[in-house]
Structure 1
Amino acid sequence: MNAMYLGGRGLACALGADVPGVLAQWRAGGQPPVPRTVAPGFVWPLHALAPQQGDWLTRLGRTVRDVVAQSGALDGARRMPLFVASSSLDVGYEEADQRFAGDMHAFADAVAAALDWRGPVLTISTACTSAINAVRAAADWLGGGEAEEALVVGIEFDNCFSAGGFGSMQLLSSTRGRPFGRDRDGLVLGEAVAALRLTRNPSRWRIAGSGNVVEGADPTGTDANAVIAACAQALQDSGLGASDIDLVKVHAAGSPVKDAVELAALRQVFDPLPPLVSFKSLIGHTLGASGAAELVMLTAGVEAGIWRAPDYPLDDALDVGFATVAPPRLRHLLLCAIGFGGGHTALVLEDCGA
């Protein structure tokens, strides 16, 4: 991968409206999801953003501006390429009978308008791998020498369609998400807006490599061979071996089957398995925004020294635990993201300050 660094970041999620607020609530142990009524008689838990005034589009624009401002991307001419990553796009707007005219890119155009953006605007929508694939696309763009910086914005905003769809497939928990948990019974969705300002100028965090594998044989499942292949691609792209990885951010969302498949695949990549971290019990599964949101939490959490044990019992049969203290060596980190349609991605980060 061409040299690319994290120049700035921003996040709004259920834990807070900015990175300091997210870290403070994380240290305090987080907060439970809130009930979300999808239809009469159908209520699912949701890790929701804090309530705001205004209609859907007004709230979206305000949140996006605030989060992108955190990253520093509003300070300049706003001519860098903008990659808008989302799974649900404008579904919530359509549900409010305020349908956008045009194709799926209309959502990205609305985001760009809210930011008064003057550069190229691109839509990346590959389900739950959207944000990681947006980072990969940004790396290609910067590698071509056409820009010094790029902005990735991952967005999953309030709508009923996502919860209704996951609920109809019996993939949602009625209580909370418990990745690798003994009593895990499904995932809990979450809202988030995350911004990654990517640059060719060196900074603490380098995007060292990535991989993407699509295996459509089971479009809603996790394929072990695809996880292995995506990790292998990311390691090769970064010039590293499996033994160089010091921490893995797992995709695990709380599925009884998919969590186990992902873990078994990672054990084939890494021997021994590095320490693991997971964020979906704190912020929910933020779908297309998850890659960006969890990358922000990972880097900010490492910098702040936050290592909290999960507040639920883990599955003894999986024989796994999460990192509760900083690993003795912490330079190279690998992130996994898996999505509907058979997408399996991996991203390697290097902490250049380690």
Structure 2
Amino acid sequence: MKPVYLADFGLACSLGRGKPEVLAGLRQRSQPVATRHLPGMMGGDFPYHAIPGSAGDWNERARELVRRVSEEAGGGLIRNSPLFIATSSFDIGAAERGEADIAYDLFAAKVADWLAWTGPVHVISTACTSSLNALLAAHALLASGEVEDALVLGIELDNRLTLAGFAALQLLSTTTSQPFGLHRDGLVLGEAVAALRLTTGAASRWRLLGGAHVVDGTQPTGATPSAVVAMHRQALAAAGLGAGEIDLIKVQAAGSPVNDGVEAQGLREVYADMPPLVSLKASVGHAMGASGAVELALLACCLDADAAWPACRDALDEALGVTLATVRPEGVRRVMATILGFGGSHASVVLERT
């Protein structure tokens, strides 16, 4: 099996468009959050992490963002390689405005055309875990030696259907995202686009060691402790590591009253000595199918020596038995990154600093 490296990445989220803007936004410590309004009995005003700036209609804006993050990741260098598109909402935002038909294959072709992509295109849609599953699929392909490069593209852009669905399930906060928070009351959604360029051709700063995807459909809208435990243990086994060799865990911790507790329970069972934990949902919102790629890219930014660290502003729920790192941990070499999603989907990847 060949080693697989994260060669570079591009990112657009509520903190900014491109890595320099994202880092500047993170240093501000207090980012403005937009509001989305939904009519009806289950509606109201909900906080929403929107990408700043606009470029016309939905398709024009999406094309500009996809091109921007792909070029930032160096995607233009590998256009004849496999492209993995990860999303849970496709271009439903454009369809809502009458600017697109609802056809998944047409969306894939549209994105490939935006990038002038000539290589094979794969679409992964497993709700919130889409990006991490795309990353796992790309890792398997590269590690086998079939190709040397691939681009994983996570896309989740503003639409009313996703927001309305979460509101109808009463899963949204009307205030803020409070990961593992004492007063957590739900999720805050957001839009984001991220590109991760993978390679076996040359070593780079981060190596992707592997990961795991565990599905437990007994709780279709949430996580289960046994699946959280299985996900972590299978990912550790795939990476050839023990629990004590993980230096940092990027948790889901989206502020859900139930799911945060389930995740904390699973973490306590796997890690006798709990490594530092970090959640990024309060900084960029929950970007659904793009969240795995988005949060990996943001975490890589946060682990730079001169970068800011996500602020932990709210009181934590001590009953959960876990805490969040308030400053960047020293000597981080191996990172576990997880996403928990609808359909009982639990996914994780392990990265190692080379």
**1:88 has 2:89 as partner:** yes
Q: Deviations over 1:297-317 (max 9, x none)?
A: 111110144334411221122
Contact 2:27 2:307 (8 Å CA) reproduced: no
Q: Deviations over 1:101-145 (max 9, x none)?
A: 6x4222121111111111111100000000000001101221232
Could you tell me which residue of structure 2 aligns to residue 338 of structure 1?
A: 340
> How far apart, CA to CA, are the structure 2 residues paired with 1:285 and 1:128?
9
Could you tell me which residue of structure 2 aligns to residue 142 of structure 1?
A: 142
Could you tell me which residue of structure 1 aligns to residue 5 of structure 2?
A: 5
Contact 1:2 1:139 (8 Å CA) reproduced: no
Q: 2:308 aligns with which of 306, 309, 331?
A: 306
Could you tell me which residue of structure 2 aligns to residue 24 of structure 1?
A: 24
> How far apart, CA to CA, are the structure 2 residues paired with 1:175 and 1:2?
46
Cα gap change, 1:114/1:308 in structure 2, threshold over 3 Å: closer, same or farther?
closer
> How far apart, CA to CA, are the structure 2 residues paired with 1:331 and 1:212?
22
> How far apart, CA to CA, are the structure 2 residues paired with 1:318 and 1:194?
31
> How far apart, CA to CA, are the structure 1 residues paired with 2:48 and 2:289?
16
Q: Residue 193 of structure 2: SS of its match in structure 1? A: strand
- Partner AA of 2:175 in structure 1: T
TM-score normalised by the chain length of structure 2: 0.95
Q: Deviations over 1:185-234 (max 9, x none)?
A: 00000000000000012111000120110100111011111111111111
> How far apart, CA to CA, are the structure 2 residues paired with 1:23 and 1:88?
27
- Partner AA of 1:67 in structure 2: V
- Partner AA of 2:113 in structure 1: A
Q: Deviations over 1:170-193 (max 9, x none)?
A: 000011111111111000000000
**1:58 has 2:64 as partner:** no
Contact 1:9 1:197 (8 Å CA) reproduced: yes
Q: Residue 17 of structure 2: SS of its match in structure 1? A: coil
Q: Residue 218 of structure 1: SS of its match in structure 2? A: coil
Cα gap change, 1:218/1:118 in structure 2, threshold over 3 Å: closer, same or farther?
same
> How far apart, CA to CA, are the structure 2 residues paired with 1:2 and 1:268?
32
- Partner AA of 1:335 in structure 2: A
Could you tell me which residue of structure 2 aligns to residue 129 of structure 1?
A: 129
Contact 1:307 1:323 (8 Å CA) reproduced: no
- Partner AA of 2:208 in structure 1: I
Over the matched positions of the two proteins, sequence identity in percent amounts to 49
Q: CA offset at residue 321 of structure 1? A: 2.2
Contact 1:248 1:276 (8 Å CA) reproduced: yes
Could you tell me which residue of structure 1 aligns to residue 290 of structure 2?
A: 289
Q: Residue 341 of structure 1: SS of its match in structure 2? A: helix
Contact 2:209 2:239 (8 Å CA) reproduced: yes
Could you tell me which residue of structure 1 aligns to residue 181 of structure 2?
A: 181
> How far apart, CA to CA, are the structure 1 residues paired with 2:260 and 2:32?
21
Structure 2 runs not aligned, ≥5 long: none
Q: Which moved more, 1:250-259 or 1:304-313?
A: 304-313
Structure 1 runs not aligned, ≥5 long: none
Contact 1:248 1:275 (8 Å CA) reproduced: yes
Cα gap change, 1:77/1:130 in structure 2, threshold over 3 Å: closer, same or farther?
closer
Could you tell me which residue of structure 2 aligns to residue 276 of structure 1?
A: 277
> How far apart, CA to CA, are the structure 1 residues paired with 2:335 and 2:97?
41
Contact 2:250 2:278 (8 Å CA) reproduced: yes
> How far apart, CA to CA, are the structure 2 residues paired with 1:244 and 1:120?
36
Provide the aligned C-alpha RMSD in A. Answer: 1.4
Q: Residue 196 of structure 1: SS of its match in structure 2? A: strand
> How far apart, CA to CA, are the structure 1 residues paired with 2:252 and 2:172?
16
> How far apart, CA to CA, are the structure 2 residues paired with 1:134 and 1:313?
34
> How far apart, CA to CA, are the structure 2 residues paired with 1:319 and 1:261?
11
- Equivalent residue pairs, number: 350
Q: CA offset at residue 77 of structure 1? A: 5.2
Contact 2:23 2:307 (8 Å CA) reproduced: no
TM-score normalised by the chain length of structure 1: 0.95
- Partner AA of 1:332 in structure 2: R
Cα gap change, 1:325/1:51 in structure 2, threshold over 3 Å: closer, same or farther?
closer
Could you tell me which residue of structure 1 aligns to residue 38 of structure 2?
A: 38
Q: Residue 212 of structure 2: SS of its match in structure 1? A: strand
- Partner AA of 1:63 in structure 2: L
Could you tell me which residue of structure 2 aligns to residue 318 of structure 1?
A: 320
- Partner AA of 2:101 in structure 1: F
Contact 1:15 1:30 (8 Å CA) reproduced: no
> How far apart, CA to CA, are the structure 1 residues paired with 2:115 and 2:30?
30
